[in-house]
Amino acid sequence: KQEVTQIPAALSVPEGENLVLNCSFTDSAIYNLQWFRQDPGKGLTSLLLIQSSQREQTSGRLNASLDKSSGRSTLYIAASQPGDSATYLCAAPHGSGNTGKLIFGQGTTLQVKP
Amino acid sequence: GAVVSQHPSRVICKSGTSVKIECRSLDFQATTMFWYRQFPKQSLMLMATSNEGSKATYEQGVEKDKFLINHASLTLSTLTVTSAHPEDSSFYICSASDDPSQFFGPGTRLTVL
């Protein structure tokens, strides 16, 4: 059974700093891995999706990597801004294939101080 | 990206009443939708898979008679929390698959008094 873990649970950085959020998963036969952003009391916004055949994906200041052999994914945020403050969640499909059933990590709550 | 809506966004009800939450895919058809629950300061936990035209599939530990799911069309799934109790108070979020991504609704905050 796939398990997803995120460390740290919370992170506070000054504006402008580059930072890395970590996500670990137990089943390396992963179909894809998705990173989401959740603002307080809101739903989820999809940030990046990495297919199993890919090693990384980039969107603006965000870069996500996937290392299946080590069971790890990282989300790199460059030049952080106060507007980046939110909870970041990684998720992997449950079972084989793209079942659509996602297993979520606990999330990392990021605070970027101006 | 694809858009998924939920209604209502917030509901407060008395213990013992039933509450219906709607999840709609606005610009694509979804044969399968998913319902998640999120308790405060916790991550999302999958409750059930909603299948258009057939019965929902529930995750272990989720009571199917308490959380009724209906997926009557390719764009609408409903979750009814029957005989709600305070412990059912939570943030309920639905998602729909527009392969390969999952798109999530904005969530419904349920408070049971």
Nearest to B106 among A43, A91, A102 (CB): A43
Residue A17's pLDDT is: 97
Phi, psi of A84 (to 5 degrees): -80, -10
Cα B51 to Cα A92, B25, B28, distances in angstroms: 20, 14, 15
- Give the side-chain half-sphere CA count within 13 A for B5: 8
Which residue positions in chain B have pLDDT lower than 70? 1
The 10s digit of each residue's pLDDT in A79-108 is 999 999 999 999 998 876 667 789 999 999
CA distance linking residue B3 with residue B76, whole number of Å: 13
The 10s digit of each residue's pLDDT in A15-35 is 999 999 999 999 988 889 999
What's chain A's average pLDDT? 93
Residue B10's pLDDT is: 96
CB contact (8 A) between residue B46 and residue A103: yes
Nearest to B101 among A41, A49, A101 (CB): A49
CB contact (8 A) between residue B44 and residue A89: yes
- Searching chain B, which residue's CA lies closest to the CA of residue A97? B100
Place A41 in a pLDDT band, splitting at 50, 70 and 90: confident
* d(CA B26, nearest CA chain A) in Å: 16
**Amino acid in the structure at residue B92:** Y
Neighbours of B53 (CB within 10 A): 9
Residue B33's pLDDT is: 93
* Matching residue, tokens 């057939």: B54
How buried is residue A45: exposed, middle or buried, by Cβ count under 10 Å (0-12/13-18/19+)?
Answer: middle
CB contact (8 A) between residue B104 and residue A46: yes
Q: Give the alpha-carbon dihedral of A98, A90, A47, A59, to 10 degrees.
A: -100
CB contact (8 A) between residue B106 and residue A46: no
CB contact (8 A) between residue B43 and residue A100: no
Using a CB–CB cutoff of 8 Å, tell me whether A52 touches chain B: no
CB contact (8 A) between residue B100 and residue A42: no
Residue B100's pLDDT is: 72
Tokens of B91: 């943030």
Using a CB–CB cutoff of 8 Å, tell me whether A62 touches chain B: no
- The answer to whether the CB of B103 falls within 8 A of the CB of B5 is no
- The answer to whether the CB of A24 falls within 8 A of the CB of A75 is no
Cα A46 to Cα A103, A105, B1, B68, distances in angstroms: 15, 14, 9, 27
